[in-house]
Every structure is written in C-alpha cells, then in structure tokens.
Structure 1
Amino acid sequence: MTLSSVLMGVFIAVDLIIKVVAIGVVPENRKPSSSTAWLLIILFFPFIGLPLFLLIGSPYINKRRQRIQARANTILATGAEQLPSAPPTVELSGELRGVVELTRSLTSLPMVTGSNLGVEMDYQRCFERMAELVKTAEETVEVEFYIVARDSTTEGFFLALAAAVRRGVKVRLLLDHIGSRKYPGFTAMQSWMTEVGIDWHFMLPFRPFRGSWKRPDLRNHRKLLVVDGRVAMMGSANLIGSTYGSEKNHRMGRHWHDIMVELTGEIVSSLEAVFAVDWYSETGEVINIHAYRFSEHLPDERLLPSAHGPEREVGGSVNALQLIPSGPGFRTSASLRAFNSLMYTAKERLAIVSPYFVPEESLLEAMTTAAMRGVQVELYVSEQADQFMVDRAQSSYYQALLDAGVKIYMYPAPQVLHTKCFLIDQTCAVLGSSNMDMRSFGLNYEISLLATGGNVVEQIHGVIAEYQRLSTLVDPEEWPKRSVARRYSESVMRLTSALQ
C-alpha cells in the first residue's frame, strides 16, 4: 500500500467522520434555518466548514456573562417588584399591556415614565447635544457605543469628556473592540483617552494571543450616554462622523442617517442599569449608580425604585417607556419576542425602518400576516446597503413581502438609512440600536425603547414621514424582472445570513 493511498484513506475517513458528527451536533439548540445552513457548508466543504463552525458557530457564549446577566435580572426583578408593569396614569390596551408584561418577564424591566426632550434626526446636532449634556455633568458620565472614533464630527464630544474629568467628574466609556478598531486613529484615541483620565474599556475584546478568546461575531451594538443619572441619549448613531472615516464615502457623498432620543425621568434608571451590567461584565467593577444599587456580592441587595433616587429634571412630554435590552447573555430572545408580539397588535399601520433587514422566520410571518389581514405595512430600507452581502440577503425577502402586500420604500443611494425604528398605528413606537435581522436578535447586545402615551410616537411618525418623502416605492410589477444573476446572488447571501 503506497503512502498516497494511505493518505487518501485517512482523508476520506476524516471527511466521513466530520460529516457524521456534524449531523448529530450542529442542530442541537439551534434554529432549523441555521442548522441547515451550517450543515450544507460542512457537508460540501468539511475542511472549511468545520473550522468556521468552531470559530463562530457555537450557540453558547461565555458562561460568566450569562451568570452576570441572570444575577442582574434577579436584582432588577427584586428591586422593582413593588412597581406595576406599567405606570397607572397611562391607559394601555389589553394587547399592549400583554406585550409590556411579556417584556418585563424577559428583561425584569417594567414600563416607567420618562420625558422625551426630542428625537433628533440631524447627525451633527446629535453629537453637539451630547457634548452639551456632558458639560453639565457634576458626578458621572457613562458612554457606551459600538463604534467610537475621534474625528472632526466627534471631537467636541471628546473634548467635553476631557473637560469633565478635569473638574472631577468620573467618566466611564465602553467601546466595542471589533466594531471600532478598523477606523482611523484607533490607537492614538486609546492613548489620548488614557492620558486625559477617561476610564475606558473594550467590550467583548477579541485578543486570542492575550487570552481574550471569544466568538468574534458576538458584538455589543448598544449606543447610549447617561449623565449624572438624570438625563440620557440613546438611538442608532455610532460615535463617528457620518461618512465613517472613509474618503471613498466622502467623495461619493455617502452619509449615514440616524436618530437619537434625549430622555429624562425614571427611564434613565433603566439605561443606567444596562450600562452597569455591561461595565461589570468587562471590568469586574461594581459601580454605584443613582437610582439603582447593583452588586453581585450582596444577595439581599435591592434595586431601589426611582422614587427613592435623586430629584430628576422635568421637561418635554411625559411618555410611558420600557427599555428592551437583548443579547446573547439573555436566553429569552427578548427583542424578537417583543417585536413579534407588537406587530400582531397592529390594526391599521405597521411602518418599519431597518438598514439591515434579514428577518427571522417568525418576524417575516408577523409582517406578512399583518399585511394579509389588511394592515398597511411599510418597510423602509436603503436602496443600496453599505455591505454587499447584506444588500443581497435582505433583497431576497422582498418578493415574499410584495406578494403579501407590503410596501417597500428605498432610501436613495448612495445614502445609508441607518435608523432603526418602527411604528404601530398611532399607539406605540420602538427605536434603538436593534436591526430587523438575525444578528441583532441572536448575536448582538442591543437596546430598544418601547414608547406610548406621549410625544415619542408623534415624533417617530414625523421621522418616517420624512423618509417616505425622500424614498422611492418598489414597483411590484418590476421587481420580479431583475436578472438571474442577481437572484442567484440573493439566494446565496440569504443562506449565509442564517449562519448563527
């Protein structure tokens, strides 16, 4: 027997073992669509598919993070047990109350009151306002963004942080390691933040040669700012200029379009609690926050309701607000369950804005079911997504939506519609960092805000009306005429989108 025949026999045996084991292992604790996608890759390309599966295919994350999140949920539930699921001053329909109670059971956060000081659409103005809020800080500034870059757009905010440190304010900043590292000035920004005294840390750092080994596709995608526990901003914008540091984007006139909401009142406590959990997860430090007390070391410690916290500013319109945090640390798919449930409550209109629309099957069914029962369903997406794979994957769903009667609006290229929000009738609105895609529902840490009974719904209605004015409606007669090559690429990218 020659050496080549022995090697060929070993190759065939290993190939067969990989395939047999994959069939029994891959589907465990995984959705059927994801299992099918992984098995196809492993069965056709076992020596590529197996390493890829081992790198990003595990359905489990670091058990320490899951323990921290579980402990945080217990503390939140205990501290807020005397609070109703929704403010007694707000009238909710039975359906909406059911969603609020569902979300509380999944995240331990009840619906509380809060004042909306404005939903901001102007990209530059978002960062100017954030800098203004930091300038008012007396005790703490807490910053958490997926992408953080120091450039001409964000410079004023960074200088405000440095000035806050000089006057004795404790400034904490979290940035996603993978999300931020590819942008200009990344290393210099780290040195500068350390030099001026900002206490900063990476979220989910991927540094295998330093012992930080995690799934590289699990990311913290949240975007929030909290000042003194009394005022906060959250939304879809990353802490970077609207061209994302790209000369090519600048030359072609491509800008990202986002929204941020400024909040005060009880809802700020929920945002600060989310930051505290993320901070502890990355640093091991228990921080004292204003309306909540948080510690893994005191088993009987309680989160105090906001009535026991400091006086809070009053302004804007009072809304009933519920924060919906989600991510792989949760085992409940909180945002997906909440979003689906909300969509089934729609009676007249469901309008969705999502830059990366690669829906989980249940969400696609919720949208098409709403359209089929006579609800006016609208989807707003970029005419051309900033990522080829996403562009093709999301457009593979358009035919099913059009067949169900969904209206698809395309925001004109080369602009990138990066806002994430949706509207249910004139009843409630949701905005935040979560896309309508499988990544946001299963792999990313996200925060979304459910609002009703105030001016947030009205302002989100205005945001969507402006997007509609600027967008082009997809013609259901023309869409099926796209090329065979285009359809083929859509199908391939749709398959890869299911790799979770």
Structure 2
Amino acid sequence: MAVGVVDQLEWYHFLIVGLDYVLKFVALGWVPQKRRPSSAMAWLLAIFLIPFIGILLFIMIGSPVVNRRRHKIQMQANALIRDMSSGEPDVPKGLEVTEEQLSMVQLNRELTAMPAVGGTLQKLYSDYAESIREIANAIDEAQHYVNVEIYIMAWDETTDPFFQALARATDRGVEVRLMYDHVGSMKYPESHLLGRKLDRLGIEWYAMLPLKPWRWKFRRPDLRNHRKLVIIDGERAFMGSQNMIDASYLNSGNLKLGRQWVDIMGEFTGPIVSIINSVFAVDWYTESGETLDLIDPSVHAEQLATAKKDTGAELMQLVPSGPGFTTEPNLRLFVSMAHHAKESLQIVSPYFIPEESLLEAVTTAAYRGVKVSLYVSEESDQMMVGHAQASYYEELMESGVEIYQYPAPAVLHTKCAIADGEVAVMGSSNMDMRSFGLNYEITLMTFEGAVMDSLQEIINAYREASLHLDLKEWKNRPWYKQYLDNVFRLTSALQ
C-alpha cells in the first residue's frame, strides 16, 4: 500500500519535499549567525514547523542583511565623531565622577563614540499637553533652524500649536527640517495628508525608513526609528518618550475608555545640545543624503562660554542605539547599571521584555539585596507585548523585585531608570528586545543633579498612584492567561 502511495506522487512533490529539507539544512547554519541562541531557536522553530512560510518570514523580518547600508553610514558617523572628540577627556574639566561612573562613561564612549559633556536641564515635563506647548514656544524663539525627529507624528487638536509654531518659523525664514517614522505614523488619521500639509508650509521633511515596495524600497517592516527629539538653533533641545500626537493616540476605543499615555520630555541647554543634534544629523543624512555641519562639543562649550551662555551644570552623555550599532549600546548600559547598583534600582518601562543578560543582571541585583522596583502599566496597549511581559513577572518577584502597575486605563509610556541615586537614564528606549536590536533609540545618561532629582520626583508620583503586585495572587491567575503569557514570550524572541 505504501508503494501505491509513492507511485501516486508526482515529481514536483519530491521536489517540494527535497527543497524543504535543503532550506532547513541551510537555515541551521544561517539563522544562528550573530544572533542570540534564544532568538535563533525561536526562528528555527518557526522555520521547521511552518515550511516555506517560516523561511520567508525570516528573510523579510529576520535577516540582518537589510541593515548593511545604515550600518555603514553609522560606522562612518562614529568615526567622524570619534575623530572630532579624540583629544577630549572622558569627563570635561570641572565635572567630577566616581570610578564606577567613569567606567560607565568609558563604556558608552567606546560603544557609540559619544563623549560625555556638560548640560543643563531646564525642565522635565510630565504634563503631556504642557510639553507640546513648551516645544511650540521654543520654536517661536528660533532664529536659524529647527530640527525635528519624532517616531509618531499626527496633526490634531493637541499638536496643532506645534505645527502652527513651525508655520510661523518658516514664515520668518527659519529653516525647518522634520522627520517622522513612516510605519509608526501611517496608521493614524489623515497620515497620508501630513506630507502635503508640510509641503504647503515650506517644511523639508522625510518619512523615515519608508515601506514603498512599489518604488523598489524594500526593508524590514519592523525596523523603525523610535527616537523623539527637537533641536532649536543648536542651543536648546527636547528629548524623551513622548510622540507628537494626542495623548489618546486618536483611537476611538481609547477615547471611550479614557485611556491616555503618560510620558516625560526634558528640555536641555549647554554642550549636550550639539551631541543631540549630531544624532539628528546622521539620521537626516541617511534619509536625505544632505550633510549637516557638526560642531565639536568642546568648541561648542567655548562658544557658549564666550557668549556668556549656559555651558552645562552637570555631566551628561548621550547613548544612541539601533541596527546601525552591532554592540547594542542601550542594552549594555542597562545591564551595567544593574550590575553597579548596590542599594536601589528603579526601572520604568512600558514594555519590559528583558534579554537574558538584562534579566540575569536585574534578578541578581535583587538576590544580592539591592532594592529593585519595576514600574509598568496595569494593562498594556499591545496585547502580545502585554502577555510576553507578564511571563517574566513571577521570576522577577521570586528574586525580590517589587513590581508596581500604573493603573488602567492610563498607559505608562515613560522610559527611565535610577541606580543608587548616582546614575540615571531617560529617553526613548524601552527595555525589550525590539529596542535593543530593531529600533533606533536615544538614551541620556546623567549623574547626581537636576535630571536625577526630577526623575525621582516623577517615579515617586508613579509609586503613589500604582498598584503593588502580589506574588501569591499572581501565581493564582487563570491558567489560560499563563498559557498566553508563555506563548507570546516565545514569539518575542523572533528578531
């Protein structure tokens, strides 16, 4: 009977089976290349269980080959920045750090070429609408140029002051450059009209990492630019976690629930602004091909001193990261913070899906007596991410990590961390696998000073508003939720 079945098979059946085995054999040696074992195993599982479709998905969203051009540009930019600041010390004169803080500065500089410089926090905004108004006010004071790079951008009632300020700036002859992420913004109302509106204002703009296969622009659809920054005249900069869209993200379901995003944006002056501007310049060149002038931060500091302007009240270091970097600078920074923590480690991340080294660093800190607290949303705005994140809670709490859930319907979108009251970070980067390998992110590291004090006040407010997660109650949650958590934990490794 078996022979009869074989006799009924056509030649192309054997071809398909043979091709499937060949693809799986090739995948065994191809997929693990420069990839974490967990990620490689997840991809191989998909390829082996879903013939042809699995390998097609890997080619589309799993292969690092599509990052080659941007990686080359980033390496060239790093070399330029490293050459410009090669004569500068790791820490500018007049600013002191401990040996442990210095080691973190040196780590970041080695990974990104970015030197530590002086900077001053003018204000850390935790009021969503206020930050947009203040950005608009700053744009109204612009005399030469405004550079904007924000992941999600939509022209709505809340963001109208921002766009009106840009319009007034162009009317004054101020040069405005603007970038937003193509995929990040495309799902929001009238996104297809945003470019036309910007054209009418005379603004030069680009949709970052565009997906336009009909124009032969192929790239990974999950490769996104997640940065949020605004620079005015090279003297003032805003950066943080907030996108340029209404706090409801213009979603009818969110409006019905009263769901709004909770974010922070910092306003900075001093030499740190030139560093933030250099990140914009690299991204602008990548999208437009136009080269913008970069200024050495030490020269910038001298110019500010000569003009009797702010030269920076505290030490700051910018840590850009993304597919253009092969060393995952943000992940190494977060892991280093956890390892250095001796008394306390506070983490705020809406999407906490740690890579193995970060999970071990955080739980090890808790095991050795460090008071570790993690702040997340009670309900995630993304179902798959919410389940994947929840799969880590039991392991974290068993190690001693205290988990606080910011109450629904709000979405806690702030990204920051403080270790021992000595090192603090804030910016656009979540602590999840996408942020470590797929998203272009920007993180600011600071030490004792105004930034840390302001972040601590905000974290204290989050703690007062949040629900403390109980390990015993968590273990007793319904079985189907635990099942979904574990399923989506596996899919989170596909990168």
Q: Which residue in 1 is equivalent to 2:357? A: 362
- Pair 1:239 & 2:244 matched: yes
Question: Aligned residue for 1:273?
Answer: 278
In the TM superposition, what is the alpha-carbon distance from 1:3 to its structure 2 partner? 6.5
1:415-447 deviation line (CA, Å, top 9, x unaligned): 100000001111121000000000000000000
Q: Structure 2 residue aligned with 1:429, among 419, 424, 442?
A: 424
Using the TM superposition, give the Cα deviation of residue 308 of structure 1 relative to its aligned residue in structure 2, in angstroms: 4.7
How many angstroms apart in 1 are the aligned matches of 2:258 and 2:307? 42
Residue by residue, what CA displacement relative to the aligned partner does 1:17-38 show, whole Å, maximum 9, x if unpaired?
2222211211111110100000
Matching residue of 1:475 = 470
1:381-439 Cα offsets, whole Å, 9 max, x none, are 00110010000000001111011000000011111000000011111210000000000
Give the alignment of 1:329-478 within 5 angstroms.
Answer: 329-478=324-473
2:300 maps to which of 287, 294, 306: 306
1:288 maps to amino acid: D
Alpha carbons of 1:255 and 1:349: their partners in 2 closer, same or farther (altered >3 Å)? Answer: same
Q: Corresponding residue for 1:42? A: 47
Three-state SS of the structure 2 residue aligned to 1:68 is: helix
Preserved CA contact (<8 Å) 2:335 2:358 = yes
Which secondary structure state, in structure 2, belongs to the residue aligned with residue 46 of structure 1?
coil
Which consecutive residues of structure 1, in runs of 5 or more, have no partner in the other structure?
A: 293-302
Cα distance change of structure 1 residues 103 and 317 upon mapping to structure 2, 3 Å threshold? closer
1:314 Cα deviation from its structure 2 partner: 4.6
The 8 Å contact of residues 256 and 415 in structure 1, kept in 2 or not, is answered as: yes
* 1: CA distance, partners of 2:254 / 2:292: 40
Amino acid at match of 1:418: H
Instruction: Say if 1:30 and 1:59, in contact at 8 Å, map to a contact too.
Output: no
What residue number does 2:129 align with? Answer: 124
* Matched residue SS, 1:276: helix
Q: Which residue of 2 aligns with 1:60?
A: 65
For 1:15 and 1:313, the matched residues in 2 are separated by 69
Partner in structure 1 of residue 200 of structure 2: 195
Classify 1:381/1:42 alpha carbon distance in 2 versus 1 (closer, same or farther; 3 Å): same
Moved more, 452-461 or 131-140: 452-461
d(CA) in 1 for partners of 2:378, 2:310: 38
1:14 aligns with 2:19: yes
SS in 1 for 2:319: strand
Residue of structure 2 in register with 1:206 after alignment: 211
Shift of 1:495: 0.7
Residue type at the aligned position of 1:396: S
Q: Identify the residue that residue 100 of structure 2 maps to in structure 1.
A: 95
Q: Give the match for residue 300 of structure 1.
A: none
Distance 1:427 1:313, change over 3 A: farther
Q: 1:245 is paired with a residue of what secondary structure?
A: coil
What amino acid sits opposite 1:68 in the alignment? I
- If the length of structure 2 is used for normalisation, what is the TM-score? 0.96
Aligned counterpart, 1:75: 80
1:325 and 1:446 in contact (8 A); partners too = yes
Match of 2:493 among 469, 481, 498: 498
8 Å Cα contact 1:230-1:312 kept in structure 2: no
- Displacement of 1:120 in angstroms is 0.6
Partner Cα distance (2:177, 2:397) in 1: 46
Q: Which amino acid aligns with 1:454?
A: G
**Per the alignment, do residues 234 and 356 of structure 1 end up closer, same or farther by CA in structure 2, a change over 3 Å counting?**
same
Amino acid across the alignment from 2:208: M
Over 3 Å counting, the alpha-carbon distance change for 1:309 and 1:218 in structure 2 is farther
Other-structure match for 2:162: 157
Count of residues in correspondence between the two structures? 489
d(CA) in 2 for partners of 1:153, 1:312: 36
Most deviating of 386-395 and 327-336: 327-336
User: Residue 406 and residue 80 in structure 1: after superposition, are their counterparts in 2 closer, same or farther (change >3 A)?
Assistant: same
Determine if the alignment matches structure 1 residue 221 to structure 2 residue 216.
no
- Contact kept, 8 Å, 1:80 with 1:305, in 2: the verdict is no
Identify the match of residue 481 of structure 2 among 461, 486, 490: 486
Answer whether contact 2:67 2:323 (CA < 8 A) is retained: no
Question: In the superposition, relative to structure 1, how do residues 263 and 344 fare at CA in structure 2: closer, same or farther (>3 Å)?
Answer: same
Share of identical aligned residues, percent?
A: 48
Shift in Å, 1:110: 1.1
Counterpart Cα distance in 2 of 1:122 and 1:180: 22
**Letter of the structure 2 residue corresponding to residue 366 of structure 1:** A
1:176-201 CA-to-partner distances (Å, cap 9, x unmatched) read 11001111111221101001100000
Deviation at 1:82, TM superposition (A): 2.1
List per-residue Cα deviations over 1:312-347 (Å, max 9, x = no partner): 775698221000000101111111111111211111
Residues 271 and 312, structure 2, Cα contact 8 Å, conserved in 1: no
How far 1:4 moved relative to its partner? 4.3
